[in-house]
Structure 1
């Protein structure tokens, strides 16, 4: 019996090893360099995600563990000093002025061309917006603090507890990668949230066709 169990163990070991065998092919490209420019332990922040803010020299840093957003100006160095952008360091769901706003372990964020920040507020199952003045509002998921995958009017929508957001400037929309529900969701933003012309490709194309027709049919052509 002991020998049988031994053989069974060896069989399972080799089969498990074979299952997890990964082949790889490396093509190493030289010419790049890695430099540390933000040391979170010194600044007492935990950088979870970073993005540049369009139209400024600022970098937006999300400290998810503290539910706080920071702003750090370029050029970046170990001497850079972060400034609190939004969130008071206490987990919660509170809109309003930046200093008193509360988030709950945001997963990710996106920034549009006007500097508005869209927050995937993970534990609140909501999408929040920090506008250029610092005011915080809830734009989706505000009516239900629970998980789900309900579509419809944004405030009635529900999200899983694992989702991220991406801004698509050409369409003036947010895409929500809802990992927990295995879905990609779409939120149409308001016109004032986007730069004029950022999602008007079709209209511009029609205008160009009209211009060409007018030129061809003009008396001087």
Structure 2
């Protein structure tokens, strides 16, 4: 039977092994996995606009901008990350530090300390404005309410957006596969769904135009190649008329007509042109 010293030695080797760096915490053992590094890409105190980041999401492809929410200031910003400068340049999207409920133009719209938002493929921002019991939508030019908020009271009613109601504790996320917003209504212990417009669930990129251009280029080259081949083999085409023909040493193969009076090489060229 192994001695206690043997087991103690194994335990020490296990904990000293770099591949398994363990720390004994109050709640149990923590195991750290190597290969990860933390770096700061935005300092709210060093940006041109002082912010306290609460949530951050990428806007939409092909944009390289991120949407940043400062919940304490009820304000949304756009920012490009990561930045190589010491001072990050940010732009205010909507909000000015006031806590209220106003739709309309971006410069006039107000929120009330929202804490959750989502972005669709068109770049629209959907906001879970809990304190206003509403779900709001931010486009490139204005803010609107798409569900809740009408009664200004908490509730759990489904139905058209104007009639719907939410608790004062809910979050949302965008699910492209369902083309919908999924809402975790914590206060009501419900999962809710709002279907979106199909156009806002389709990825926008230049790949379609690029594929079309490549297809047209390939078609053009194919037609050109066919015409060139036709001209190259033009002198060597042997016609077939169904009649006995004289030896090739006495006839010009290019000028022998078919039953319609058309030479075989002319028919080939006409076929190539039709294909293009």
- 1:182 paired with 2:186, answer no
Bigger Rg over Cα: 2
Among candidates 12, 34, 48, match of residue 54 of structure 2: 48
State the shift of 1:22 in Å. Answer: 7.0
- 1:69 paired with 2:65, answer no
Query: Compared with structure 1, are the counterparts of its residues 180 and 57 closer, same or farther at alpha carbon in structure 2 (3 Å cutoff)?
Result: same
- TM-score normalised according to structure 1 size: 0.74
Cα RMSD of the aligned pairs, angstroms, is: 2.0
CA distance in 2, matches of 1:142, 1:119: 12
CA contact (8 A) 1:107 1:162 kept: no
Among candidates 188, 195, 198, match of residue 191 of structure 1: 198
Corresponding residue number in structure 2 for 1:108? 116
CA contact (8 A) 1:50 1:62 kept: yes
Q: Which has the higher contact order (CA 8 A, sep 6+)?
A: 1
- 1:27 paired with 2:40, answer no
State the shift of 1:191 in Å. Answer: 2.5
State the shift of 1:137 in Å. Answer: 0.7
For 1:4-15, list aligned pairs within 5 A.
none
CA distance in 2, matches of 1:123, 1:42: 30
For 1:162-181, list aligned pairs within 5 A.
162-181=169-188
Query: Compared with structure 1, are the counterparts of its residues 35 and 95 closer, same or farther at alpha carbon in structure 2 (3 Å cutoff)?
Result: same
CA distance in 2, matches of 1:47, 1:124: 21
- TM-score normalised according to structure 2 size: 0.60
Over residues 11-69 of structure 1, what are the superposed CA-to-partner deviations in whole Å (9 max), with x where a residue is unaligned? xxxxxxxxxx9753433111111112222234421101001111211111000111100
CA distance in 2, matches of 1:46, 1:196: 31
* Ranges in structure 2 where 5+ consecutive residues have no aligned partner: 1-24, 205-276
Corresponding residue number in structure 2 for 1:81? 89
Query: Compared with structure 1, are the counterparts of its residues 22 and 185 closer, same or farther at alpha carbon in structure 2 (3 Å cutoff)?
Result: farther
State the shift of 1:168 in Å. Answer: 0.5
State the shift of 1:196 in Å. Answer: 7.2
* Ranges in structure 1 where 5+ consecutive residues have no aligned partner: 1-20, 198-221
Among candidates 127, 131, 137, match of residue 123 of structure 1: 131
Query: Compared with structure 1, are the counterparts of its residues 196 and 68 closer, same or farther at alpha carbon in structure 2 (3 Å cutoff)?
Result: closer
State the shift of 1:89 in Å. Answer: 2.1
CA distance in 2, matches of 1:42, 1:80: 7
State the shift of 1:194 in Å. Answer: 2.2
